[in-house]
Amino acid sequence: MDGQTATHDLEPDDVQTGALLTGFVVNSSARGVFVRVSRELTARVFPRNLADKFVDDVATAFRRGRLVAGRVLSVTSLAARSKRKKGESKK
């Protein structure tokens, strides 16, 4: 991803580990927060990665519609995740 890419045009293949992204919270629960980064891309943030300090109530701290920013720690496509769930090896 270069500095010229608008976030609304991001495709999953454009995202690299270490990139800084912004987006809007679309869902939050004790299991994490889902952030809409672009029309084609939604990121899942695990509770341990939400903030520098422990967050007691994730749903209250990260309400739907809130604008958030963060750094990409890893990228996993849905196709890769579904293969692993079916017991196939990673390629």
The answer as to whether 46 is a domain residue is yes
Confidence (pLDDT) at 5: 45
The answer as to whether 20 is a domain residue is yes
The answer as to whether 68 is a domain residue is yes
| pLDDT tens digits, 34-70 | 999 998 889 999 999 999 999 999 999 999 999 999 9
Overall number of domains in the chain: 1
Q: Which residues contact 74 (CB under 8 A, 6 or more apart)?
A: 17
What's 62's domain CATH number? 2.40.50.140
| pLDDT tens digits, 68-78 | 999 999 988 76
pTM for this entry: 0.73
Segments forming the whole domain that contains residue 43: 16-77
